[in-house]
A and B are shown apart, each in its own frame.
Chain A
Amino acid sequence: MASPRTYDAIIIGGGHNGLVTAAYLARAGKKVVVLEKRPRVGGAAVTEEVFPGFKFTMFSYVVSLLRPEIIRDLDLPRHGLHVLPLESTVTPMENGDYFAAWGDHDETRRELYRHSPRDAEAYDEYGRLMHFMAQAVKPILSMVPPDPTSFDPRDLLALLRLGKHFRGLGAERLHALMKLMTMSSADFLDEWFETDVLKATKSASGIIGTFLGPRSPGTAYVLLHHYMGELDGVFRAWGFAKGGTGAVSESIASAARGFGAEIRCDAPVARVLVKGGRATGVALENGDEIAAKVVVSGLDPRRSFLDLIEEKDLPGDFVADIKRFKFRGSSGKVNLALDALPSFTCMPGIGRQHRGAFSISPSLEYVERAYDDAKYGEFSRRPYMDIVFPSMIDPGMAPPGKHVMSIFVQYAPYNLNGGWTDAKREAFGDAVVNTVEGFAPGFKSRILHRQVITPLDIERITGLSEGNIFQGELALHQLFFMRPAAGWAKFRTPVRAYYQCGAGTHPGGGIMGASGRLAALAILGDGA
């Protein structure tokens, strides 16, 4: 396989961001090779047939905010991307009632009216404000973060533009934005709503992938994510990918190959070769060396800088920053093969509710208590869960009449008291299944196969440090020009010709691909 030619760029890691970078570089005529350690591309966006006939979206399970410009630039629909609607969320309550948000606005408002007429009215106003907030924040997703301490005219210009942009919001919205960026999601929602189950469900989305609870400051801004998805609106950058999230990765890989990129699986990289402060290529674990003008790491900051590069090749303060970068994986995943769909007590029978999500977030106290367990080093005895039935949206995910159930679980701390063991993993799986059973009696007897994934498993399988699904917590001090480290948020690194393109860079998180695209643009801008 060794190619006599030198590559323009080597991408380490075939996760979705690495693939996006590869595709954009190849599109610009660069000779690119992607090196993936696993037998398949996708990283944490993979679909695998773990149990015969049943396809599991192993880790990630929804497409969230996949950037429309990437879909267009890479023509992903022609490469098999098909995002299907995932419209409703049903939250079963402890008293047997439920709260449901449906795809239809009137229906949702009437449902909320049942819980609180006041909230039903506030819901529209809240939605309108969040629309403006999302509109204000969204451009940031597609920009290279300017360095606020720099006197580089480009930084100053970008900061000026950003300043103008925010001033243009007007006082009221700017204040709301400040609140969103600093408050806890629970406190922010308290200003709007009185229905506890509504607040619990909305704030639960704000804690995904973080080691924070709904009452922790700095969780409110994630409430915006949903509304950013609505801004993309009919473009539908949010939903369930036909074939699972692995199909998203495959479509990007197919686009990259179409532009001439080479993708090698089963090709783990041992280290980045550095000569005179400049990356010159990589050494594979099998001893092969591949040279390239540019090396791009799609791995998280810890892997990119502490594992692949020798410390002596990096400035001390940068190494210290990266060592302090917080991962703290807090989520697990339980994937089930089912003989039949579960019927939930709150909404008995099988119906359209199974085509949307079930959120196990019956009250704010429930979610906060789930966090309490984790704070002290235990997995939540009664966790927050986001459940979908992929086979109800795409019947191809399971044999006809059978189903797969994807359960995203929080909290499952990476640093569990006493460490994760096989027994602890199964105990965690039991806690998840038993909690669901409480809301859907009889469900357990329908399970044909169970796959339990802890943060340690995520780390072991995908390489994501501490099993953090976002390549590092999406906490405010680790965002924008601070991601992954102050001064190094522009996809470049202290090693010349060595770049980073993973979710550990701005804006990170979810299957957005934004980091991968911005990295490619930065590399091309540097004239690589």
Chain B
Amino acid sequence: MTLRQTPFHPRTAALSEGQAWRRWAGYVVASAYELSHDREYHAIRSSAALFDVSPLYKYLITGRDAARLLDRVVTRDVGKAKVGQVLYTPWCDPEGKVIDDGTISVLADGRYRMTAADPNLRWLHLNAAGLDVAIEEVSEQTAALSLQGPNARAILQNAAQRDLASLKYFHHTEAKIGGIPVTISRTGYTGDLGYEIWLDAAQALPVWDALIETGMPYGITPAGMLALDVARIEAGLLLIEVDYFSSKHALIEAQKSSPFELGLGWTVALGKDAFNGKPALVQEKARGPAWQFTGIAVDWDSLERLYAAVGLPPRLPTQAWRTSVPVYSGGQQVGYATSGGWSPLLKQYIALAHLEGTFGTPGTAVEMEITVEHHRKRAAARVTKLPFFNPDRKRA
């Protein structure tokens, strides 16, 4: 076996109807369990979807200087975070360009769990010089599930036999599911009410089984990456190597992005002590970013006209695409979209885009390239504030 299987593989493999798998960090995970991801997507927004997110990289950072290390690395203020809190944060190279993004959970004083999309062990070690800190990669030992959707809380409360109403957005707590200790964080990648469950990989299957059994009456639906991809675009959440390139992988400067250029200015705590990229970011903040990361919504009538011209009803991308698509204004290219697709919930063709300067202002009329019967056309679109979908229940 060249690719690894996650600790939940015996369960997920049994559910796979179409043998549709995707590679993620050297593992295989389901693209969709059913022949179409449609129902899995709707479960995220209507009941609850269960994702296997075990391939995430996970690091345990402990010791007297754990917070100091993290504060050197990431842009958020880790020192200020309290036990029980979870921070979403990017981290930058010394030029203030984003390397990766992930979460940091404050497990206890001097004890943190960091998740990342890419391997970051070496980077953490490089930054730990002179600090009293232990960095342990726990990616394989830690299994992870994500339970997302309006019924996620009810299911988890039943499975963990405890009230979760007090577990606030971006906080975590210890719990037991089927007698097995787990950490539950109020986090996710869908922009919905949702939780992620972190546990010992050796105990993965009984936790999966317990969740499925408890979740059945609430419509729990195992879901794959295709469904997740649509939801995360609606939620306006970035994907590394799709919406931006890690500065560690970029071959030219133009491939790199700063947090400000990715709509992550809110994560940059310029008030804290020195951290990677701070001087560059201070300057960039003063002069304003060259790019804006924003949503665009394609105009239906325009789409309909382009297709009607060749005698077809509009064709809509049911699967999210991940290619670079030019965006124009007044005949000039002013940016590019990096992810897009049809939102079955909003009934809108939406995309995430990088736009130059003021073109990123919400409400700006732009055009996005679409291919209609082998011909490149431009469909009218409007710059839209992210997220496209932001239900009250996400934080409530």
Contacts and interface: CB of A to CB of B under 8 A. Distances in A.
Interface stretch (A233-241, A490-498, A509-517): A233-241
B347 A235 contact: yes
B131 interface: no
A85 B227 CA distance: 14
B342 A82 contact: no
Given A77-B347, A236-B344, A82 B318 contact: no
B346 interface: yes
Contacts of B24: none
B218 A231 contact: no
A508 to B, nearest CB: 23
B113 interface: no
B221 to A, nearest CB: 10
A233 B316 contact: yes
Given A234-B318, A394-B46, A395-B47, A85 B38 contact: yes
B45 interface: yes
B42 interface: yes
Contacts of A242: 46
Interface residues of A, number: 27
B35 A233 contact: no
Interface in A61-106: 68, 71-72, 77-78, 82, 84-85, 87, 103-104
Contacts of B45: 82
B217 A231 contact: no
B148 to A, nearest CB: 15
A78 to B, nearest CB: 8
Given A107-B35, A394-B46, A395-B217, A234 B344 contact: yes
Contacts of A71: 347
A400 interface: yes
Contacts of A355: 39
Nearest to B45: A82
Contact of B316 (A85, A104, A235, A394): A235
Interface residues of B, number: 24
Contact of A82 (B35, B39, B46, B151): B46
Nearest to A104: B35
Contacts of B342: 234
A340 B345 CA distance: 30
Interface in B305-350: 313, 316, 318, 342, 344-348
Contacts of A233: 313, 316
Contacts of A195: none
A135 interface: yes
Contacts of B318: 234
Interface in B226-241: none
B36 interface: yes
A394 B218 CA distance: 9
A117 interface: no
Nearest to A235: B347
B300 A72 contact: yes
A232 B45 CA distance: 21
A103 B35 contact: yes
Residue of A84, A104, A107, A394 with most partner-chain B CB within 10 A = A84
Interface of B: 35-36, 38-39, 42, 45-47, 151, 154, 216-219, 300, 313, 316, 318, 342, 344-348
28 contacts: A68-B300, A71-B347, A77-B345, A77-B346, A77-B347, A82-B42, A82-B46, A84-B46, A85-B42, A87-B39, A103-B35, A104-B36, A231-B313, A233-B313, A233-B316, A234-B316, A234-B318, A234-B342, A235-B316, A355-B39, A394-B219, A395-B151, A395-B219, A396-B47, A396-B151, A400-B218, A401-B216, A402-B217
Interface of A: 68, 71-72, 77-78, 82, 84-85, 87, 103-104, 107, 135, 231-236, 242, 355, 394-396, 400-402
